[in-house]
Amino acid sequence: MAEAAQREVRLQSELKATKDALQKAAENEKKAEEARQAAAEAMKAAEAASRKTADAERTARAASVAKGGAENKSGAARIAAGSGASAGGGGAAPTGVDRFDGAYRGRMCSQNPDGSPRCWPVELTVSHGALSATWESRYSNLPSHAKGTISADGVVKIAVDGHNPNGRPLIGSMDGSFADNRITASGAWNNNVPLNATWSLSR
């Protein structure tokens, strides 16, 4: 009877350990799924911002061509318009999301499998509220990307795609902000490996 009781205790202990392991695995899977969903949503927002930027650039080019044609009809009018723009503060700094436009130099950092830090240089381009960057993956010949958005108040959201040490596709997401001509962001890959970045405006 004593041996039977001991066996029952061991079985109950093993059953509890198995339940705990299953619960932990389910929680990790849920976190990974939430990270994938967040990255997918950020990627959709970035693509929408890119399309909006492309439409705005096409409209601006069309307006510029039309304006150039009108100015070519009258050299005097063109000179007068230029003088008027200078007098009226035409060189004023841009406002809204356009004030962040430019090239940013910096780097992104993650972790090696042994836990040591790993960083690589990345140049970020910001145009009309859309952020984008491309670099060569260490683990694949295919390029990796960062796409995101920056709001008028400097809030940054970025979706990242790359590759793990086995060369398999990997996605992640970061949140950040703009301050003192710098963009800083942090987040994680969908395998919970931390990810952060810092860029400084170089124009």
pLDDT digits (tens, 9 = 90+) for 7-30: 777 888 888 888 887 787 777 777
> All domains of the chain, ordered by start, with CATH?
1-203 (2.40.128.380)
Confidence of residue 85 (pLDDT cuts 50, 70, 90): very low
Q: What are phi and psi of 95, to 5 degrees?
A: -120, 180
pLDDT digits (tens, 9 = 90+) for 114-171: 889 999 999 999 999 999 999 988 777 789 999 999 999 999 999 999 888 777 889 9
- Amino acid 78: pLDDT: 52
Flag whether pLDDT at 90 surpasses 80.
Answer: no
Flag whether pLDDT at 89 surpasses 50.
Answer: no
- Amino acid 83: pLDDT: 47
User: Which tokens in the block code for residue 170?
Assistant: 């990997």
Q: What is the mean pLDDT of the chain?
A: 81
Q: How far is CA 123 from CA 7, 108, 141, 192, in A?
A: 62, 10, 19, 24
- Amino acid 92: pLDDT: 62
Per the CB < 8 A criterion, the answer to whether 189 and 173 are in contact is no
CA–CA separation, 93 and 132 (whole Å) = 23
Backbone Cα Rg of the chain: 26
pLDDT digits (tens, 9 = 90+) for 47-57: 777 677 777 77
User: Which tokens in the block code for residue 78?
Assistant: 């063109």
- Amino acid 184: pLDDT: 97
pTM (2 d.p.): 0.56
